[in-house]
Structure 1
Amino acid sequence: MQKPKLPKNESDRLEALNRYHILDTLPEQEYDDLTRLAAEICGTPIALISLVDRDRQWFKSKVGLDVSETPRDISFCGHAVADSAFLNVPDTTQDIRFTDNPLVAKDPSIRFYAGMPLKTSDNFTLGTLCVIDHQPRNLTEKQIRQLESLSRLAISQFELRRSNATRKAAEDALDEQYKREVLLAEITQRIRQSLNLDAIFQIAAQELRQSMNADRIGIFKFDPDSNCCNGEFVSESVIAGFDSVIALKIYDHCFGDQYAAYYKEGRIQVINNINESGLTDCHQDILQRFQVISNLVVPIIQTENLWGLLCIHQCSAPRHWQDSEINFARRIATQLEIAIKQASLFELLEQELLEREKEADSRKILLTELQESESRYRSVITSMSEGIVLQQADGQITACNENAEKILGLSADQMRGLKSVDFERSTIREDGSIFLSEDHPAMVTLRTGQPQTNVIMGICKEDCPTRWISINSQPLRHPDQTSPYAVVASFADITEKKLAQEMLKMEAELAHVRSLTDGLTQVANRRCFDDRLQTEWQRSVREKQSLSLIFLDIDYFKLYNDCYGHQAGDACLIQVAQTAASQLKRPTDLFARYGGEEFVVILPNTNMEGAIAVVELIQHAIHDLKIPHEASKVSSNVTISLGIASIIPTQEQSLEDLIAIADKNLYQAKQQGRDRFYC
């Protein structure tokens, strides 16, 4: 017995096979119809769709055989894959390669084998569509051609299956990413609008639990001066059936000694199963008390100190945390850090201003207080989550915070002394136009004394994506004066929010495309055809140009379905539609499914001679497919009949006239024997 050789491109071939994600999947009617049809055409008791894996051949579909796979070393299909060619063995007992093969000497006692390679569009042979008999025999040339056609149909099903799976995975990933971006934008917006930490924590915990499908989300705060040993959960969201931990005091000296330094460095703890994690006994006891089986813990840091922890608990079962989930939790924790910092700073500022107001008893004292307040204000803005810039009445920048430097890409020294006008060439509006200097919110506020809110600006920089910011400007005035002596411009980076909006727009556009596409054949559908024909008709009337219409019908398609089954019928529709559509060379032409097995072609600015040329291209392409059709009354292969109409539309006519002519001519083509066109 000769073992099959390995193809030279074996590693690439196996990689191509795995891309289809079809190995070890359940039986599917589409493939079973093809093997049953192959057995009937070739008159054999056994037919297989065999895929050759690294060490085995696995049967996606089988007729007349009980096993689902055999070793590759004894496979017939392995030889066909190695040569990437049709393998025909009329009598295995007379072929030196197979005389002592176990599949010949023992069950299933193979005496005849014929395998047609299953080749992908990039020329990788994944396996074969093969027929097997217990008696020596030979296939006719016609049977070989039909077996080859069925192998192409099998590959079409592979491609359709992979396309559908890829599209579904992309849609799911896009949808999940969009939902998380929306959630992050909502939390960010709430932080900008509110200083109520309890409300921010509650919304973040509830939305994060629902988004990540977790059993419990808890926000834990350490007691000050406890060396991260004591604390409590200040907010949580937990599903029914598991205990609440809110306001529960925790005393864990092990944590402060062993884990606090780890978290202060910004590291994240990821535990898929606490029973397999190697945690210390005291730490594991606390997690078990909270019913935790798997958890994800992200530190919440304030000025290099560990403020608390964002805890994500899975209590029902172990869980493998995805990189996207870990990254999303980290981003949520960052927003919570901003909210805590912002609330703390504003609380401090409010207390100071209140104390100063109580002490003020004269204008001189008040002026001194304002000067001191401005100094403190500059200190406060340095630590705020938004970018902050202070500009004097002449527009010159005198102070900014760290976030302003990051967002604008300039240092404080580079910005100091500049005006908004100096950024004109690098800033744009949402429509892409230049953001004029006089329209900058800070300049408008200095000019009018009125605050400006939520002004959108794009910052352009060479070799970097555009960064989008939302700007607010607030005037600063001395008592009893109406004109501002300075302006505070605050701005937040909304680039991620803009990207989320763009994704939403893309989803809407994708939905629109789907609404105009036939789900089976992936060509334009009836709705798309109706809209386009109306448009082209009106344009042709206006410009007095020819408009041609072609009706196309698959001959005896009902008999095809009755003979081969509806799954094979669907595969036939896909091949015919895709092949016919590929013959249209102009972007203005449209190929659409009209209904059932009937298709239609719109050819703008095309007279009858041009339409006939397109019809002949389509006819030749369909003939070249050689799709078997034993039930046809005009040919052994699938054929089509076509009706052509071509007119120069006028105001006195209607597009229904054009449709009626094409439909009538299609009827004449059928009456005259089918497999032809009529005009």
Structure 2
Amino acid sequence: MNQPNHNAYRGDASVEASSESDRLAELRHYPILNTPPDEAFDRITTLAVRLFSVPVALIGFVGCDRIRFIAHQGLDPQHTDRAPLWDAALQSDDIYTVTDTRQLPACLANPWITEELGMRFYAAAPLKTPDGYSLGVLCLLDEHPRTLAADDRATLRDLAAITMDALDQRRVTQPAQPTPDSLLPQLQALVMNMPGMVYRYYPQTGPRPHRFTFVSPQARDLLELAPAAILADADTVIDLIHPEDVDTFEASLTHAIECFRPWSWQGRIITPSGRLKWIQGRSQAQRTLEGEAWDGLLVDISDRKQAEATLRQEFQRLSALIALQQDVAMQSPHLDAVMAVITERAQQLTHADGAVVELEDGNHLVYRAATGLAQPHIGLRLDIAHSLSGQCLTNGTLLQCDDAETDPRVDRAACRRMGLRSMVVVPLIYQANRMGILKVFSGSPSAFKESDIQTLQIMAGFLAASLHLASEFEAKNTLLQDLQASESRYRSVISALSEGVVVVQADGTITACNASAATILGIQPEDVIDRNLAQLGLQVIAADGSPRSFDDYSIVKTFRTGHPNTNVVNGILRPDGSTVWVSSNTQPLSHPGDSRPYAVVVSFTDITELRHSEIATLKRRAQRERLLQPDHPTDSAKFRSRRHSQHHRDRSASVSSSRSGADLPPLSGRYWQRHRRRYCC
């Protein structure tokens, strides 16, 4: 039985390191890793099992820490850890054999011998290059102790030579693997410019299942850990994972390792300084000389997650506003109910401590509806000339106070009595008529964000429209009473009172569309949201029937001028070919201090029936006036013709009467007047 020469393999450290480095460099010149199975190597292991009557034959190449098997018979390992038994065969100049592995103390720790396979016999021939470098071994394994005869040793030696011949042939037909030294400058530049931490990870068995063999310097910024600390103990990274995300991390990693697939995971970490970060990890699996490895990248996605959360909040806000518009439409024209809904939702959506609607009454603004801190003050009167609310109403612009303690525009004493520190005031304007203001406030300074301001502007538009509807309710109610005899007509009038509302961004993207708008336009809401206005393909005509160009749209004009448009009548060709007539208003949404709108709110009402009714009435009136004109050439001709015919009939009757001896009374002027009205009216 050959004994492993530990002194030859573990001699002078510098010589050993240099020799091993050269051997690994030579190994990389051969296309061994990440290549498909080769039938030539499989035939060699099959032949070895048959020739030597052993259950297992393997061809393996020895890397730095792992052994990679490229052909196997009787056993299906992909790799195993490097051990003294393999090292001894690698360093042997000839066939290396162990008759009974249990008699060799160095083999007792090998799991193939003690646990998994229980192998007793081991024989291996080194796979050497012409330059004398041992790349791997062709080995035989048996469950029973045995010896290898001289002829068998010669046969095993020949099989090893055949293996090297096949390997050299593969090297000729396939490109050699580039050496790390030749790629080092490019790889270093690439790694340093990566937006996150580059790493190489190896899974392991035992109490320490994680191991990193490379970590880029970006680990300091991303994880607040030194690369050396991660290389020394991979658990320093694992320990950063948020407790709620540990299960998803372990499940994704286990699946990648068991299936040898790429790894991908998103989760939270808590850095040593206590910062919460979202990170994303991605890696590709590959087989290396040291075993299966995952090369990947860890990046900080906290900003992206924040943006996603903001988008979700924006979607929820717009959904709430659309629901609010529908609730307001249901409450209209009951002004008190509308104001109660508006103040309640305004406080909820802006997370304010209170909300109030103030309506103009002479030289004062009166608290008409309030919630939160303002509710006990319903009926309070504010002087328009000496209040922030009054300035907002007078100027017709949104005003914001971030801190009542330092803002000279507010009544500091009154704010202290109510516990107010910050507020936003939005005017209620409809068709250039200023009716009051909508105000929210908080007990904390700078409590309101840009999204809160946008929400209030949209809600102010709803409320202003409701105020206008309330003022016209009595006239419309009279019309409704006249139409109650017809159920269908009554429903159509109710439907016409529900305004459509669409929100269009500056780039033309439609971000909100309520159900009434979709019904009026004859399209589905999902076909409108997130689409560009120009892409809808709607054909718009003016009140006189002429087509409108895109630049002549009310929305485009409002974006261009920053001014609202009111009571604009347009005809819209629906997808089904019908035409709907609408009366529309546009209201720009602007940031404080910026005259350019970032969005426009469009509200419109279906006036198709009203327009058709007006046209029919005008036609009847024109026809009646035309027929009543006595001097109209056509009418005169018709009249003379009728009169001439009547004259002949009267004369014939007179002649007949004369023949019969009867006297007829003459036709008077009144007779002709009556017949003129008969034929001409």
Normalised-by-shorter TM-score class: 0.3 to 0.5
Give the TM-score of the pair, scaled to structure 2. 0.33
Q: TM-score, normalised by structure 1?
A: 0.33
**Which has the higher relative contact order, 1 or 2, with Cα contacts under 8 A spaced 6 or more apart?**
1
The structure with more radius of gyration: 2
